[in-house]
Amino acid sequence: MKTMKYIAAACLLCAVTSCELERLDYTEIYPENFPKTETDLRLAVNALYYDFNPRGFNGVFSAGYEGYQVMSDITTDALWSCWAWEADDYYYHQWYATMGGAVADDVYAAFARYNFLSKARNAVRRIEASDVNEEAKALYSGEAKALRGWMALYLYDLFGPVPVASDEVLDDPETFVYLPRLTDEEYDEMMETDLRDAIRDLPEKAEARGRMTKGAARMILLKYYMIRGFFDKAETLARELYAMEGSVYSLQGDYNYIFSKEGAGNDEVILQIPCNSTASWYSNYMTAEVLPADYPWAEKAEGWGGYVIPWDFYDTFEEGDVRRQNIITEYTNTSGVHIDRSNSTQLAKGALPLKYGMDPDMTGAQSGVDLVIYRYSDVLLSLAECIVRNGGQPTQEAVSLVNRVRDRAGLEPLSVEQTGTKEAFLDAILLERGHEFYLEGLRRQDLIRFGKYVEYANGRINEANAVEGQGYFNVDEGHNRFFIPQTFIDESKGEIKQNDYDR
């Protein structure tokens, strides 16, 4: 017995000292095992799309104020919200670089997304280094590059150029390299490299709606050129997209069909976030944000009753504009009561942009209608704009492009006055764009491009101060870009320079 025990003890000692202790966790996938196959590449790219989800604080298309589309529209004349919180801070541009609170948090979240550029770049490099057939590698790296360009566009749009890490810096994440912002030229080069590759490698039609295509990549680059004021390059791209009409894209006959459940995947849409009312991370919440709780809608739908189109903007729509049909000015609620400006806080502030059609399966706040990001009518209006800006004259071609959009909206062609001069024509295009793309998150950039963003904001500020006795401060052209949160400037040891804000 005694010897037995000693043997046992000796064995135990041996076991303890000789074997290396091992840890096991099946939920971790180690770099030596991934990515290895074509499916792996698709999974890696799918993970990149996640950052563009329509829900959650970091999702680019969150329907809250921090989402790109809402943030872009609510700082203009075309969207407002009847929730106190920070809606008025946005609508009246009451933000400044040293502020705290919810707006600062939203801006922080928007800027913090800049690490997506590193994420996508690493994905591209992993795809290219993987041992998979070249065709698949080209396709998926093209997709990753287009996604990178897409995020880079929004970052540039909101903040101007952001710092971008080189491959060498990415390879050594533990070393602190304090990067300045790229110059505009460096940013141009990055955008062109990524997106030109993507345009080359992506298919014309996606295997599934929502995935990147040649046209979507062109559209992203077109948007970038428009921001940069490269109207000649923009015109070329717009013509390339225009050439895809018929084979890939078309102008839908019915405006409202584009935003309907049945219209999912219609060929006017160039890029969308596909939605599914049963998937909380991929549902369209824009409807719920607008929908009053007592509005007769899908049986299981829930409305949060927030967003409105301010009445003064609503009033700019022409009579008979079909695009106005889904902007609700009065309704009979579920209890049979007539609701209008006189008895609804929401309608008192503005009309209800129920742009996205009813999804009968909408449950709670989750609707399954795809979120539209870019569509073909934007190609027409952008091309018209480029032609005028490049040529200095409203050409017949340009005018007819705009009139195609107007015609679809049930409106007469532009008047002679509106097409008479470059300035008048551009004004008409800006207004047309406002009506065509309400709630689509394009208004802010359009106003900036036309030099009206700050002017309009000051108009609202002055009116509120005069009429309601508010004490809002006026703003200057610095507001065309958001401020960069001080945290990032501090982190870069001052390498990142603030935008044009004096406080």
Partner 1 sequence: MKTIHLYVRHLGLVLSLLLMTVSLAAQTIQVKGVVKDKSGETVIGASVQVKGTASGTITDLDGNFVLPDVKKGSVIVVSYIGFVTQEKEASSTMEFILSEDSEMLDEVVVVGYGTQKKSSISGSVASVKADELPTAASASVGAMLRGRAAGMNITSTSANPGGSMSIAIRGGLSGQAPLIVVDGVPQVSSKTVMAGTAYSGGEKENSLINLNPNDIETIDILKDASAAAIYGSDASGGVILITTKRGKTGKPDISYSGSVAFQYMKDVPKFLNARDFMIEQNKVFDELGRGDEKRYTDEQIANFVGDGTDWMDEVTRVGIVQEHNLSLSAGTEQTKYLFSLSYYDHQGIAKNNSMNRITGRLNVDQTINRMLKAGISATFSQVKYHDVPLGNGKQDNSALIYSAMTFIPTVSVYDEEGNYSNNPIRDIYPNPVSLLDITDQTTSRDLFVSGYLEFKPIEELTFRGTVGFDMKDVQADQYIPTTTKKGFSMNGQGSKQNAKTQMNLVNLIGTYAKTFGGRHDLNVMAGVEYKKSSWEGMGIVTSQFPYDGALMNNLGISEQEKPTISSNKGANEMASFISRLNYTFDSKYILTVNLRVDGSSNFSKEHQWGVFPGVSAAWRLNEESWLKNVRWLSNLKLRAGVGQTGNAGNLTGINSYYTVSQGAFAPNGTLANGIAFSKLGNENLKWETLTDYNIGVDFGFFNNRLSGSVDLFQRFRKDVILTRSLMSYHEINTIDYNSAEVYRSRGVDLELHSVNFDTKDFGWTTDVNFSFYRNHTTERDPEFIPEVYQDYVEEWGNIYGYRTDGLIQMDQKYTHLPSSNAGSILYQDLYGYKLDGNGNRMRDSEGRYIRLEGADGVLDAADMVVLANSTPIPFSINNTFRWRNWDANIYLYGSLNGWKVNDLKLQSIYGIEDITYGVNALEEVKNRWSPANPNGTMPGVAEASSGVNPGSSDFFLEKAWYLRLDNVSIGYTFPSKWFKNRIRSVRLYASGRNLAVFTPYQGMDPETDNGIGAYPNQASFAIGLDVKF
Using CB under 8 A, which of 115, 193, 316, 462 touches partner 1? 115
* Single residue of 88, 128, 192, 427 touching partner 1 by CB under 8 A: 88
Instruction: Name the token pair of 319.
Output: 């009579």
For partner 1, the binding residue among 7, 129, 279, 322 (CB under 8 A) is 279
Q: Interface residues for partner 1 in 329-358 (CB under 8 A)? A: 335, 342-345
Provide φ and ψ at 216, rounded to 5°. -65, -40
CA–CA dist 293, 311 (Å, integer): 21
Q: Is 293 in the site for partner 1 (CB under 8 A)?
A: yes
| Beta-carbon contacts of residue 149 (< 8 Å; ≥ 6 apart) | 191, 194, 195, 198, 217, 220, 221, 224
Interface positions, 244-273, toward partner 1 (CB under 8 A): 264-265, 273
To the nearest whole angstrom, how small is the minimum distance from the Cβ of residue 212 to partner 1? 10
Of residues 225 and 282, the one with the C-beta less far from partner 1: 282
CB of 53 to partner 1, least distance (A): 8
Identify residue 217 by its one-letter amino acid code: A
Angle at 247 between CA 136 and CA 407, to 5 degrees: 135
Q: Which of 3, 25, 131, 253 binds partner 1 (CB under 8 A)?
A: 25
Select the residue interacting with partner 1 from 7, 36, 50, 415 (CB under 8 A). 50
Instruction: Single out the segment in contact with partner 1 by CB under 8 A; choices: 31-39, 64-72, 151-159, 420-428.
Output: 31-39
Q: Which residue has the tokens 């010897």?
A: 3
Residue 302 in contact with partner 1, rule: CB under 8 A: yes
Q: Which of residues 127-186 bind partner 1 (CB under 8 A)?
A: 163-165, 170, 173-174, 176-179
Distances (CA, A) of 137 to 124, 141, 170: 9, 6, 21
Min dist CB 93 to partner 1, Å, is: 13
Select the span of 128-136, 350-358, 458-466, 486-494 touching partner 1 (CB under 8 A): 486-494
Q: Edge-to-edge strand order for the sheet containing 350-353?
A: 80-81, 307-310, 350-353, 327-328
Task: Report in angstroms how near the CB of residue 315 gets to partner 1 at its nearest.
Answer: 22
Question: Is 498 an interacting residue with respect to partner 1 (CB under 8 A)?
Answer: no
Closest to 63 measured CA to CA, from 281, 285, 368:
285
Residue the block writes with tokens 């993987």: 130
DSSP secondary structure, 277-329, as one string: TT-GGG-B-HHHHHS-TTS---TTB-----EEEEHHHHTTSPTT-GGGTTEES
Whose Cβ is closer to partner 1: residue 102's or residue 431's? 102
Phi-psi region of 80 (alpha: psi -120 to 50; beta: other; left: phi over 0): beta
Site stretch for partner 1 (CB under 8 A), options 14-22, 128-136, 186-194, 398-406: 14-22
Nearer to partner 1, 8 or 322 (CB): 8
| Among the listed residues 128, 192, 294, 500, the single contact to partner 1 using CB under 8 A | 294
Question: By CB under 8 A, what part of segment 194-233 binds partner 1?
Answer: 206-211
Min dist CB 440 to partner 1, Å, is: 20
Binding partner 1 (rule: CB under 8 A), the pick from 3, 30, 131, 253 is 30
**Residue with structure tokens 């989750």?**
366
CA distance 499 to 262: 44
Q: How far is the CB of 314 from partner 1 (least distance, A)?
A: 21
3-state secondary structure 434-498: HHHCCCCCCHHHHHHHCCCHHHHHHHHHHHHHHHHCCCCCCCCHHHHCCCCCHHHHHHCCCCCCC
3-state SS, 265-281, equals CCCCEEEEECCCCCCHH
Tokens of 14: 């041996």
Q: Of 375-404, which residues contact partner 1 (CB under 8 A)? A: none
Region 90-109 residues binding partner 1, contact defined as CB under 8 A: 94, 98-102
Interaction residues for partner 1, span 313-332 (CB under 8 A) = none
Pairing of strands 269-273, 327-328: unpaired
- We find the least distance from the C-beta atom of residue 347 to partner 1, in angstroms, to be 11
Number of residues engaging partner 1 in binding (CB under 8 A): 95
Contact string (CB under 8 A) for partner 1, positions 424-463, x = contact: ----------------------------------------
Two tokens, residue 174: 């533990």
Q: Which of 46, 393, 396, 421 binds partner 1 (CB under 8 A)?
A: 46
